[in-house]
Amino acid sequence: MRRVDPAIAVLALAGGLAALVGALGGDLRWAVALGDAIVRTGHIPNGIPFSSAATHGWPNVPVLGEVVLGRVYAVAGERGLLVLQVAAVVAALEVLRRTMRARGASPGGAAAALALLFVGAFPSFVVVRLQLFSLVPFAVLVAVLAAPRPSTRALRALPVLFLVWSNLHGGVLVGLAVLATFALFRLRTDRLPLVVCAASALAACVTPALWRTPAYYYGVATSVAARRHVELWAPLSPTRGFDAILAVCALALAVAAFRGARGRWELVAVCVLGAATIHTARTGVWLLMFASVPAAAALPRLAPLRARLRPSAQFGLAAAGAMLALVGLVRGPSSFAATTPLVAQARTLAAGTPILADGVLGEQLALSGARIWVGEPLDAFPAADQRLYLDWSDGAPQGDRALAYAPRVVLSLRRSASAKRLARDGGFRLCARDARALLFVRRGVAC
């Protein structure tokens, strides 16, 4: 029986798990709703069309990503979004696998590196978010820069990659940081990478926002959520299970990367991405993806990973991955949000008035055609509204002022701080619930 590359077996299993466990997370449905609005009206709206708070003048940059998500959802629904996620995961891992092998990694070393990468960044690979649009571009960037002999033609094509990437997702800034690190360490011997880096930075500004593109990224990086280190901006914490797993896998890959690196720039890039991961845990996926390539060549020397699976076991893993993918795609993604009937009831009871809703619930409402007061993308709103909204989400007393912007309906996640505080508010009463959300209405509103 022909031997299967164990790294391909791991890749197949990773794709299968991404499909089987796949779930729709936050930072997704708002982009779908915006993409749908852009396609439906034929132009980019000025601000956030589904919110009542002031957002006029917000520079919308990832329009291409929004339109792609909107069209995929219109054609194939939530299952289509899961297919997009699985395709991005498999494509990114395959690009990295090929890069590992090109650098001389053994099949076992590449398989071990991919396994550590997938386990460590598990939430990023199985939870569908707008971030999916950065997986393949980042993998391609790593493939170009970490190649045994970086191709001049490939380097010159990088500005095109960054132009497309910037229109898809803000992860392009991480890519620019990695490219800048590469360029600075090559400056003495070759100025082309520095020229490419400058051209790529300019290309990243070729978006519908044009010269206001930097203002968009500045607004994202300095949002109230980012300054408070909450939600997607939360720092790495060993008390959270997935963060602890991420830390262990990152440490293993980083140690191996320091032995398998082919230049000081790779070591510096690992350190920079490591510091960014400590500051913001979701950056960990980029650290693991980058470190996995130099680590693959060194892993067999650091642990007893020389043993290869028998051909039958390798075929079994590949077949299991395909079967898991089939089951997952037929079933469709799970969700962390409310059920469709509860969202529809909230929209009906609101009667066109703005709804105050927790995180992903607000995105659901926006996608259903309802109006919300403030929600994602949070950076589109004035800082005062961002603070008030986050205070309300945190159940802080000063957040009660946000209730004034919800004339009829409030939707909160069960067991959330906002729901616990709202349950004690005499001006509202519980109207309906499901497994994940609670629907509150003002006193006097018929339920």
pLDDT, tens digit, 9 for 90 and up, residues 320-365: 777 887 887 888 888 888 999 999 999 999 999 999 999 899 999 9
Contact 159, 196 (CB under 8 A): yes
User: Between 190 and 319, whose confidence is greater?
Assistant: 190
**Is a pLDDT exceeding 50 seen at residue 302?**
no
| Distance of alpha carbon 318 from alpha carbon 315, whole angstroms | 5
pLDDT tens-digit series, residues 98-144: 999 999 998 889 999 999 999 999 999 999 999 999 999 999 999 99
At residue 311, the pLDDT reads 61
At residue 314, the pLDDT reads 60
**Is a pLDDT exceeding 90 seen at residue 149?**
no
- Residue 273 CA, chain-centre distance (Å), reads 16
Contact 168, 64 (CB under 8 A): yes
At residue 304, the pLDDT reads 44
| Distance of alpha carbon 441 from alpha carbon 443, whole angstroms | 6
**Is a pLDDT exceeding 90 seen at residue 247?**
yes
Contact 38, 360 (CB under 8 A): no
Average pLDDT over residues 183-202: 92
**Is a pLDDT exceeding 50 seen at residue 306?**
no
Of 125, 117, 204, the residue nearest 160 (C-alpha) = 204
Average pLDDT over residues 157-182: 97
